[in-house]
Every structure is written in structure tokens, then in C-alpha cells.
């Protein structure tokens, strides 16, 4: 009976006439599609339930969904006619390469959009603070993470490869989870938000250098040779050079890049090309030794002050909603509770230190950079998640034979606990006032308002549409905001206007230096409407037009 059912359902998936390679691809794609279907459904439902009933961020529901259906939980159970949906793999990454690749692409999209949401002025203002915060967290986390191995007998000294690797793993920061929460709480452009992102970028660059040094020292120690400092110096220079070059080049060339993209006159094409550029820089970033998400963030940051930023966010919103839950669900699927049993106590202590070293190591320097204790705590909590970055570093240690499965299990536990603990702490910390000494001071241009009043809401609605089209005809990008009162942001290069349609009133807010541009476009449209109304007078009377239209009906 089972054989019959097996043939009935599975044979159509693998054409007997097809070559063996084709059968493998068909089976692999079928498995991937089924896995994605389950992930999307479970992650979205989990995120929705967590947000609606537990009043928490949907990212936590997506992470927990991944833990439940992952290869170390329900995913390993046999399904009749198929087998385990998510069979655990004997590698540092327990999901299939195809599924993990999709999660990485999702993380690139997430950081590209995080870069687009970043306020460039605020980012530049707090870049020094970010570097200081990142350095503080890195030093605290590395030395305490390595030292704690000695009292527990994991390592004999801080120079032991196990100690060096656990110190390196503790320095990692996974900014993806923090970025998602900042975005949901609309705090991406806050002083704390941009400082966290700047510190995470610094953390990643410095983390690569630390990893290169630790791997070099560990391999030399195991082989009994001398450390190749010139090779380590080359890796460090390449990572820092890439970061500085592409950030500066992106900021200087962003306007020219968008000018070329606008020649396509299609918002869909422009969004696809920008995402392609982000993936290109992400790939180059990986080749330079940095994480791919850093390259994607650099591209998003460069485009954040251009006039196409709102269109990009709107065009990519659907892809974001589909792929980002997949990323967090796959991160949850990597959690293996079984690997934590033998080192449970040490893992809990190490995880606690991993949290404290980021909160104190990043929080204390933040207070020296004019953040209040409240702001410093927000930054510290934002730097706590280790996520996939710690797992990748730990995977390098396992694959190179420098750490064992027990230390890898500790890294998984720390990664999981910091990933789960940080979001609620970060959300709670953002309740209350400003986290900057003297309050947050935003740089604002001098602005003025142009108020227009019309006889009725219908007339105002009609003229509002005409004015928006007039701006579009002048190659402005018009973006409707999700507000109760119809509000539109109108942008072209450095010019930004805001139009609000409130019943019979239309108000255009404009920087003083660009008010003439706004006035001329509106005046030209009003004059066009006047000509239109004059031409209406020459039309036949409505009664005679009605009679003509009804002729032949009866």
C-alpha cells in the first residue's frame, strides 16, 4: 500500500525519461518549494500571533516558529511518503545550502532597506560615536569572552585556540534583528539607532581583523611555526580600505547614479537596478573579507538622501514582507538544544557575559559621547544580538578543526539567547524621552507653507490630483504617506515638498529657498485649469448633451 502511494504521488515529480541530473534538480527544487511554503506560512502566522496577542515584535514570533519547525525539533520527524521535511545536516549550518542562500539574500535586502531608512546627516554626526561604541564593545567582549574559559577548564590560558575563538565569537554583532526592531519602532533615524548601525559596521570590520589574527595564531600554534603578520596586515588593510572607499564613493556618486537610473522612466526598473547594485556591492564586500550585509548597507546609505528613496522603499516593500520572515525563521531553525546539554552551565555563564559585555562595553563609551544612561542602555541592548554572525564565526572554527562540537554548542546557545533576549529589552528601553544629553536636536531647514482653500472637498480633491500630476510631469517623485489625512512627499534631487489635503484645504510645505519652484508649478496648473473652465463654457448645455446621449436608447 505504501509503495503504491509512493508511486502515485512521487513519480510525477521525477520523470522516468529524464536524465539522472534532471531528476536530482527536480527533487531538490520540489523539496525547496515545500520547505519555503511551510516556512512562509508558519513564520507569518507566528509573527502575527506574537504581535497581536503577546504585544511583541513579529520578529520574535518568526524566530520561535523557526525553532519549532527546525531540524532539531519537529522538522526532523518523518512525514509519510516524504521523510523529514528539514533533516538535520552534519555541518555547521544545519539547513540546506539552497535554503540558507535564500536567507542570506533576505539579509542583504534587509540591510539595504535599513541603509535607505538611515538619516545620513544623523549617521555622519554620530559616526565617531559609533566607532567609539563599537570599539568598547569589541574589547570588553573579546577579553572577557576569552578569559571566562579558564575558570571552567575549557582552556589553560587566554592564548589557547578555544579561548581565542570564544573571545572572537563574543565580539560579533548581528545588526539584522536590531535593524528590524528599529524599523518597526520607527527609530532607525534616531541618534541611538544610527549609532548602533555605525557601531555594528565598525564591529564587523574590526571583527574580521580579529578573526584573521585569531585563525592565524591558532593555526601557527597548532603547527608550531611563526605567525605571518604581513598576511594578517593585508587582510586588515583590505577590509578597512573597502569600507572607506565604497562608503565615500557611494555618497559622492549617488546623485549621478540616480540621474542615470531615471533615464529608464520606470519605478519598477529603477528599484530592480538599485537592488542589483546593492547585491553587487554585497558580493564585492564578501570578496574583500567583510560580511555581505555591510556592502548592502553601504549602498542603501548612499541612496538614502536621493529623491528616489521613497519609491525604492515602496517598490521593494512586497519582497521585504515575503523574504524577511524567511530569514528570521531560518535563523531560529539553527538552534540545537541537544548540543547545549554537555556545556549547559558554562554556556549560560558565557551567554550572560556576552550580554553584559555589550551592554557595558558599548553603553559606557556611549555615555562619554553625550548619551544619557537611557540612551546608553538602548545602544547596549541594540548591540547584544549575535545571530548568524556568531554562528558563521563558530562554523569557521569547527570547519578548521580549531574548536570542538562542545564549544560550537556554546556558541549556538549564546547566539540563541542573545537573539531572543535582546528584542524585548530593546523595545522596552525605547519607551520614554530622548537618550541624548540636552535632548535630540534635529537639523531642519527653514520652511514655509503655501495654503490654498477651495469651495468643497471634491474640488480640492480634483485640484490636488492635478497638482500632483504637474509635479510628476516635472520629473518629481510623488510618494503617498500612510497617514489618516492624505499626505504626499514630493522629491526631486535636493528639493523636498510636503502636500497635505485636508477637506477643502491644500497645504504645501516647502523650504524657503525652493518656494518659487513650488509656486510656479502650482500657478501654471491653476492657469491651465482656468483655461479648462473657460473651454467648458463653450460646451453645449448639459441638457442638450444628455438628450444626444440618450438618443436611440428607447
Q: What is the mean pLDDT of the chain?
A: 78
Please tell me the predicted confidence (pLDDT) of residue 276: 93
**Number of helices and strands in the chain (H, E):** 20, 7
Separation of alpha carbons 389 and 395, rounded Å: 10
Separation of alpha carbons 539 and 472, rounded Å: 29
Separation of alpha carbons 239 and 218, rounded Å: 21
- What proportion of the chain, given as a percentage, has pLDDT over 90? 5
Whole-model pTM over 0.85: no
Identify the three-state secondary structure at position 395: helix
CB 191 within 8 A of CB 436: yes
pLDDT category of residue 496 using cuts at 50, 70 and 90: confident
Which segments within 380-446 are labelled E, that is strand?
A: none
Q: What is the mean pLDDT of residues 221-234?
A: 66
Please tell me the predicted confidence (pLDDT) of residue 274: 92
Q: What is the mean pLDDT of residues 57-63?
A: 74
Q: What is the mean pLDDT of residues 497-511?
A: 83
Residue that the C-alpha cell 547566539 belongs to: 415
Residue with the larger pLDDT of the pair 365 and 14: 365
Residue 442's φ and ψ, nearest 5 degrees, are -90, 145
Q: What is the mean pLDDT of residues 487-494?
A: 76
Q: What is the mean pLDDT of residues 233-257?
A: 81
Q: What is the mean pLDDT of residues 396-424?
A: 74
Cα torsion 316, 321, 327, 328: sign: positive
Helix axes 20-53, 309-333, angle to 10 degrees: 100
Q: Is the pLDDT of residue 545 over 80?
A: no
Please tell me the predicted confidence (pLDDT) of residue 234: 75
Q: Is the pLDDT of residue 13 over 50?
A: no
CB 328 within 8 A of CB 177: yes
Residue 452's φ and ψ, nearest 5 degrees, are -125, 135
Grid coordinates representing 51?
Answer: 504581535
Please tell me the predicted confidence (pLDDT) of residue 37: 93
pLDDT category of residue 486 using cuts at 50, 70 and 90: confident
Terminal C-alpha separation, the chain? 70
Q: What is the mean pLDDT of residues 215-238?
A: 67
9 CB neighbour count, 10 Å cutoff? 12
Please tell me the predicted confidence (pLDDT) of residue 277: 93
pLDDT category of residue 41 using cuts at 50, 70 and 90: very high
Specify the range with the lowest mean pLDDT, choosing from 15-19, 64-68, 83-87, 254-258: 15-19
Please tell me the predicted confidence (pLDDT) of residue 266: 86
Q: What is the mean pLDDT of residues 266-275?
A: 90
Separation of alpha carbons 392 and 396, rounded Å: 6
Please tell me the predicted confidence (pLDDT) of residue 21: 61
| Dihedral over alpha carbons 78, 80, 81, 84 (to 10 degrees) | -20
CB 480 within 8 A of CB 472: no
Identify the three-state secondary structure at position 444: coil
- Half-sphere exposure (Cβ direction) of 4: Cα atoms closer than 13 Å: 1
Question: In the chain, how long is the greatest CA-to-CA distance?
Answer: 104
Specify the range with the lowest mean pLDDT, choosing from 308-317, 337-346, 509-518: 337-346
Q: What is the mean pLDDT of residues 539-543?
A: 66
Amino acid at each position: 500500500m505504501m509503495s503504491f502511494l509512493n508511486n502515485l504521488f512521487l513519480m510525477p515529480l521525477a520523470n522516468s525519461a529524464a536524465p539522472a541530473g534532471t531528476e536530482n534538480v527536480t527533487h531538490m527544487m520540489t523539496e525547496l518549494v515545500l520547505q519555503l511554503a511551510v516556512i512562509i506560512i508558519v513564520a507569518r502566522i507566528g509573527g502575527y500571533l506574537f504581535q497581536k496577542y503577546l504585544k511583541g515584535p513579529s520578529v520574535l514570533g518568526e524566530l520561535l516558529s523557526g525553532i519549532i519547525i527546525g531540524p532539531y525539533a519537529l522538522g526532523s520527524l518523518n512525514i509519510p511518503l516524504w521523510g523529514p521535511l528539514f533533516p538535520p545536516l552534519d555541518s555547521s549550518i544545519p539547513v540546506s545550502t539552497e535554503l540558507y542562500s535564500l536567507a542570506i539574500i533576505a539579509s542583504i535586502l534587509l540591510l539595504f532597506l535599513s541603509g535607505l531608512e538611515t538619516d545620513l546627516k544623523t549617521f555622519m554626526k554620530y559616526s565617531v560615536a559609533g566607532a567609539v561604541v563599537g570599539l568598547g564593545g569589541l574589547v570588553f567582549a573579546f577579553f572577557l569572552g576569552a578569559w571566562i574559559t579558564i575558570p571552567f577548564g575549557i582552556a589553560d590560558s587566554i592564548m589557547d585556540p578555544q579561548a581565542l575563538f570564544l573571545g572572537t565569537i563574543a565580539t560579533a554583532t548581528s545588526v539584522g534583528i536590531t535593524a528590524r526592531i528599529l524599523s518597526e519602532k520607527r527609530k532607525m533615524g534616531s541618534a541611538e539607532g544610527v549609532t548602533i548601525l555605525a557601531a555594528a559596521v565598525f564591529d564587523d570590520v574590526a571583527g574580521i581583523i580579529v578573526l584573521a589574527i585569531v585563525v592565524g595564531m591558532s593555526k601557527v600554534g597548532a603547527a608550531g611555526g611563526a605567525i605571518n603578520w604581513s598576511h594578517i596586515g593585508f587582510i586588515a588593510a583590505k577590509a578597512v580600505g573597502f569600507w572607506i572607499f565604497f562608503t565615500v564613493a557611494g555618497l559622492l556618486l549617488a546623485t549621478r547614479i540616480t540621474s542615470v537610473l531615471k533615464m529608464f522612466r520606470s519605478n519598477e526598473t529603477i528599484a530592480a537596478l538599485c537592488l542589483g547594485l546593492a547585491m553587487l556591492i554585497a558580493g564585492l564586500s564578501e570578496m574583500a573579507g567583510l560580511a555581505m550585509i555591510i556592502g548592502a548597507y553601504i549602498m542603501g546609505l548612499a541612496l538614502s538622501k536621493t529623491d528616489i528613496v521613497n519609491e525604492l522603499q515602496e517598490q521593494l516593500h512586497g519582497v521585504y514582507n515575503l523574504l524577511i520572515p524567511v530569514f528570521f525563521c531560518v535563523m531560529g531553525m539553527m538552534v540545537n538544544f541537544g548540543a547545549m546539554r554537555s556545556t549547559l552551565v558554562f554556556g549560560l555563564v558565557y551567554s550572560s557575559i556576552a550580554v553584559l559585555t555589550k551592554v557595558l562595553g558599548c553603553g559606557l563609551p556611549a555615555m562619554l559621547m553625550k548619551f544619557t544612561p537611557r540612551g546608553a542602555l538602548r545602544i547596549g541592548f541594540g548591540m547584544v544580538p549575535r545571530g548568524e554572525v556568531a554562528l558563521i564565526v563558530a562554523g569557521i572554527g569547527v570547519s578548521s578543526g580549531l574548536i570542538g562540537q562542545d564549544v560550537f554548542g556554546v556558541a549556538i546557545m549564546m547566539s540563541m539567547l542573545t537573539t531572543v533576549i535582546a528584542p524585548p529589552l530593546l523595545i522596552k528601553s525605547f519607551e520614554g524621552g530622548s537618550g541624548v544629553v540636552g535632548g535630540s536636536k534635529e537639523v531642519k531647514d527653514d520652511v514655509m507653507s503655501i495654503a490654498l482653500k477651495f469651495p468643497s472637498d471634491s474640488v480640492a480633491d480634483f485640484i490636488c490630483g492635478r497638482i500632483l500630476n504637474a509635479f510628476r510631469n516635472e520629473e518629481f517623485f510623488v510618494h503617498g504617506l500612510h497617514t489618516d489625512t492624505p499626505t504626499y512627499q514630493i522629491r526631486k534631487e535636493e528639493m523636498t515638498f510636503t502636500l497635505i489635503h485636508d477637506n477643502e484645504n491644500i497645504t504645501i510645505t516647502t523650504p524657503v529657498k525652493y518656494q518659487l519652484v513650488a509656486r510656479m508649478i502650482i500657478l501654471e496648473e491653476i492657469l491651465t485649469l482656468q483655461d479648462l473652465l473657460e473651454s467648458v463654457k463653450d460646451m453645449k448645455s448639459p441638457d442638450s448633451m444628455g438628450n444626444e446621449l440618450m438618443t436611440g436608447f428607447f
